[in-house]
Chain A
Amino acid sequence: MNQAMKTDPFILRRYFALAIKNLRRRLVRTSLTIAGVALAVTVAVSLGGFMLGYRGAIDRSINMLGFQVMIMAKGCPYEAATMMLKGGTGLLYLPSDTYDKVKSDPEIESITPIFVGVAQKQGSGIRDDAGATNFSVISGIEVLSYKVMKPWIALKSGPGYDGGRWFEADSKTDVVLGFEAAEYEQRKVGDSFYASIAPAGKPEPVMHEFKVVGVLERTGTQDDGTVFMPIDVAREYFGRPAQLTILGIKLKQFNAVKMREFETRWLKLPEVQVVGLQQVKNTLVSLVATAQTMIAAVAVIAIIVALIGVINTILMSVYERTAEIGIMKALGARRGSIFQLIWLETVIICLIGALTGSILAVVGSSLVERAIRSIADFGVSGSIVSITPQVIMYAVSGAVALGFFGGLYPAWRASSMRPVGAISKGV
C-alpha cells in the first residue's frame, strides 16, 4: 500500500452515500418500508399531540373559569363537568339561600352566584333548522363578584363599542353580550336584543326587548357565547325568583385537604354537590382516556409492524447482496465496516420515515382535530391537538432508536458473512 495515500476524514459521508445508493436500488420496496414507518410515526405523533393538546385545552378552559370549586345541584358529574365548560342544557337549580349560607364560610376568598337559563332567540327561531344557534345561553350574574372571580373580563371599545358599560343590578332592560354572541347577532352597543323566555311552570314564552349596553372582549371560554344580565332580573324572567345554578368559589387555600374539608362542610346541605376543578379535570380526562388507550394500542401495533417491515426489508437486501458483501470483505472491509453500512441503511429508512410521518401528522392535525371533535365535543376551547416540536423530537428519536436496535440483527448477519462462502454463491 502506498504510504502517500491519505486517510479520509469524511469517511462516514461516503458510507452514507453508499447506503443511500443501496436503498435506491429497490425503490419500491424501500418506499413501502418508509411508508410503513411514516404511518406509524404519524399515528404516534398525532396521538402524542392529542394527549398533550387535550390536557392543555382542559387546563386552559378550567383556569379561565376563574374558580376552583363550584357548588351545584346534585346530578351526574359528567354533566356537571361539561355544563360547567359549555354552559349546557339540562339545568338544575339550587335554592338561592345556599348562597347566603355558604358565603359565610371562613375559608372562602371570593364567591359568585350564577343563574343560567336558556332563551329562544327572536328572529332566527322559525326560519332556521332546529339547533343550538336558535338559543341563547343567558347568565344572570352579580357583576361585582363576577369580576372579582374573572379579573380578565373586559369591555370592548372602538367604533360601535365605545361607551360600553356593565348593567345596574336592578336594570330590567340592559344586557352585556359575550364576544361571539355579539358577533353572531351583529349587535353593537346601543342596539336592541330580543329574547323570548319561558318562565318556569308557564307554557307560553314571553318576549323581552333588551338594550345592549356593553360587549366583552374575547376570552376563549363559554363566556364568549353568553348573554349577561343582572341575576335578579334573570331569576324573575325565568320564573325562579329564589334559585340559582352555580356558586363559583375561590378558596383562600386550594389543596386536596382544604377541598375535602370544604366539601364535607357543605355536603350536609340537601340537593347540593361540591365539585372541585381537579375532579372536573379528572372526569374530562377519563372521558377520553379510553379513546386514547385505543389509539395508543393502534400506534404500538403500527410501530411493531413497521419495525418488522424494516428488519425484513434490510434482511432481504442483505441476503440478496450476499455475494456483494463477500466481495466487499475481500476488498478489505472489516466486519465493522459492513455492520456500519447495513446499520446505516436501517437508520436512514427509519429517519426518513419519521420525518415524513411527522410532516404528515402536522399537515393532518387540523383534520384529526375536526375528526375528534365530530366524534365527541369535549367542551374545551382552543386547539385540542397540539403537535409541539418536542412531540416530533420524541417521535423522530424514538423511530431512529427503533432503527438503531432493529438494524443490529441484519447488520450482524451481514457482517458475519464469510467472504468465501459469500462470493462462491455468485452474483
Chain B
Amino acid sequence: MNDFIIEGHGLKRYYQRGNETVKALDGVDVSIRKGEIVSILGPSGSGKTTLINLLSGLDAPTEGTLVIDGKSAAGLSEDELVEVRRGVLGFVFQNFSLLPTLTVTENIELPLLFLGLQADPERTRRVIDAVGLTDRANHLPRELSGGQMQRVAIARALIIEPKILVADEPTGNLDRATGESIIALFKKLAKEDGLAILLTTHNTVFGSQADRAITLEDGRIVALNGPPNKLPLH
C-alpha cells in the first residue's frame, strides 16, 4: 500500500471551443502524499486551475486515471464526484468566496451543513484560533481584510478535518506580506496536522517554499523540483 492521497496518471483535459480543441492539460502525471505541500507553477493559461480542479474532483478528466483517497475519480459524473470529494477535500479559492450574509463562524460551519453534521462550538473555536481570527468570530466578511477573509476560507476548509487542502491561487489577491503569512499558516498545518496541501501560485518564491513544485506550460509538466527522493517518477 502506498501513501499517496491523490494519484493521477496521463491526465488530459480538452475543451471544445467551436471547431477547435483546447488542450488545457495534455498528459500530466501528479501524485501527492499525505502531509506534503505541492505547488503548481506556470504562466497564465498553462493549465494550473484545470489541473487542480481535476486533482480535487471538481472536474473530470477527458482521459487518464485518477485516484482520490483510494477512490477512482476518472470518468465519474458530477454527482458521483461529489461523493468522492465530500469530507476528504477542503477548498480555498483565490477570491475567498465567503457567503456575504453569514458571519465568520457561520461561514466556517457551512460545510458541516452540507455534510449533515452538527456544528461543535468548541471545534469551531479551535479552528478559528488556528487561523488567528479569535476576535473576529462574529464579524461579517465585508468587515474583514483580504488576508482575514482568506483565513476564514482556510478555516472553513479545515472544519471538516480534510485529508488534503486544495488552494487555487490563495495568495493571488493578497499583498506580499499577507501572502507570506498565509503560506506560513499552510506550512504549520502540514507540519502539525499532517495535512497534504496542493496549491497553485504565480509567485515562484512561494512555490519554492513547498516540498515540491510542479511547473506547467501549455498543459504539460516542464519542470519538477524538490527533494529527489520524493519525486513521483514512474
Contacts and interface: CB of A to CB of B under 8 A. Distances in A.
Contacts of B115: 1, 332
Interface stretch (B30-38, B79-87, B182-190, B204-212): B79-87
A278 to B, nearest CB: 61
A1 B160 contact: yes
A328 B118 contact: no
Nearest to B95: A427
A217 interface: no
A333 B101 CA distance: 18
B91 A330 contact: yes
Interface string A2-17: 1001111001001100
Interface string B79-117: 100100111100101011101111000000011111111
Contacts of A331: 91, 110-111, 114, 156
Contact of B114 (A22, A25, A328): A328
A5 B99 contact: no
A2 B58 contact: no
Contacts of A25: 100-101
Looking at chain A's contact residues, the main secondary structure is: helix
B118 A7 contact: yes
Contact of B49 (A24, A330, A332, A424): A424
B104 to A, nearest CB: 14
A334 interface: yes
A275 to B, nearest CB: 67
A340 to B, nearest CB: 10
Contacts of B161: 1-2, 5
B79 A22 contact: no
Interface residues of B, number: 35
Contact of B101 (A2, A22, A328): A22
A330 B58 contact: yes
B58 A14 contact: no
Contacts of B49: 424
Contacts of A21: 101-102
A360 to B, nearest CB: 29
Interface string B19-40: 0000000000000000000000
Contacts of B88: 1
Contacts of A151: none
Which residue, of A22, A25, A331, has the highest number of chain B Cβ atoms within 10 A? Answer: A331
B85 A423 contact: no
Interface string B138-163: 00000000000000000010001110
B118 A327 contact: no
A424 B93 CA distance: 10
Nearest to A336: B79
Contacts of B58: 330, 419-420, 423
A323 B113 contact: no
B112 to A, nearest CB: 7
B82 A420 contact: no
Contacts of B101: 21-22, 24-25
A418 interface: yes
B53 interface: yes
A5 B114 contact: no
B129 interface: no
Given A18-B113, A335-B79, 11 more contacts: A1-B87, A2-B161, A6-B117, A18-B102, A330-B58, A334-B82, A334-B86, A419-B59, A423-B97, A426-B95, A427-B96
5 contacts: A7-B118, A14-B113, A329-B82, A333-B82, A419-B59
9 tightest Cβ-Cβ pairs between the two chains A and B? A1-B87, A333-B114, A8-B118, A331-B111, A332-B86, A332-B114, A6-B118, A21-B101, A2-B161
